[in-house]
C-alpha cells in the first residue's frame, strides 16, 4: 500500500498551473513526475527522506530496502532515515508508525532539521506478548500436505 495511491493532480501541481488553460496537467505530466522522482527510475531525493518498513513485511523485501538504504547513504549529500517496526506486516506498519512519520513530515514542513545524514531505528512494541499480529499473506499455502 503506497501513500500516493489517492493523490490527485491538485496534490502534485500548483493551483495556478492547474487553472491555466495553456498549461493543463494531464496524465503524461504525472507519469513524467513519477519517472523523475522514483528511486526505481534513478530519481534522487533532494530533501530528507524517511523510509518505514515492518520487519514482518511480506509485500516489500526487507533486504532490498536495506540494500537501497545503504546505497543511498554512500552519498554524503543524501539524508535517509530508516525506521523498522518489529512484528509488523506491510499495511499494519503504516498505522503503527503514523505518529512518527506524521511528526517527521510536519517538522520538515516547518523547516526543522531532521538530525543528520543516515539514521536507523528499530521500533519495538511496548508489550510484544499482547501485540496482535495478523500477517497479510496466508503462509499455509507454502506448506506441503502429505494427506
Which set of grid coordinates corresponds to residue 93? 506498519
How many structural domains does the chain have? 2
93 and 23: one domain?
no
Residues 6+ apart with CB under 8 A from 104: 50, 81, 114
Whether residue 131 is contained in a domain is answered as no
> 7 with 55, same domain?
no
Q: Which structural domain range is residue 19 located in?
A: 1-38
**Does residue 99 have a pLDDT over 80?**
yes
Antiparallel, parallel or unpaired: β 49-54 and 118-123: unpaired
Q: What is the pLDDT of residues 27-86, one digit of tens each?
A: 777 777 667 666 555 566 778 889 999 988 888 889 989 998 888 888 888 889 999 998
Domain co-membership, 34 together with 56: no
Please indicate, yes or no, whether residues 14 and 78 belong to a single structural domain of this protein: no
Give percent above pLDDT 70 in the chain: 61
Residues 121 and 51 in one domain: yes
- Output the pLDDT for position 68: 87
Angle at CA 103, nearest 5°, toward 126 and 120? 60
Amino acid at each position: 500500500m503506497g501513500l500516493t495511491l489517492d493523490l490527485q493532480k491538485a496534490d502534485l501541481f500548483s493551483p495556478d498551473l492547474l487553472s491555466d488553460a495553456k498549461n493543463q496537467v494531464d496524465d503524461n505530466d504525472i507519469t513524467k513526475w513519477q519517472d523523475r522522482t522514483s528511486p526505481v527510475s534513478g530519481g534522487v531525493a533532494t530533501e530528507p527522506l524517511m523510509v518505514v518498513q515492518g520487519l514482518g513485511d511480506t509485500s516489500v523485501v526487507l533486504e532490498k530496502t536495506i540494500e537501497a538504504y545503504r546505497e543511498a547513504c554512500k552519498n554524503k549529500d543524501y539524508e535517509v532515515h530508516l525506521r523498522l517496526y518489529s512484528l509488523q506486516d506491510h499495511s499494519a506498519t503504516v498505522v503503527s508508525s503514523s505518529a512518527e512519520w506524521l511528526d517527521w513530515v510536519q517538522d520538515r514542513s516547518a523547516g526543522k532539521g531532521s538530525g543528520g545524514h543516515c539514521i536507523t531505528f528499530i521500533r519495538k512494541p511496548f508489550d510484544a506478548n499482547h501485540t496482535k499480529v495478523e500477517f497479510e499473506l496466508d503462509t499455509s499455502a507454502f506448506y506441503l500436505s502429505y494427506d
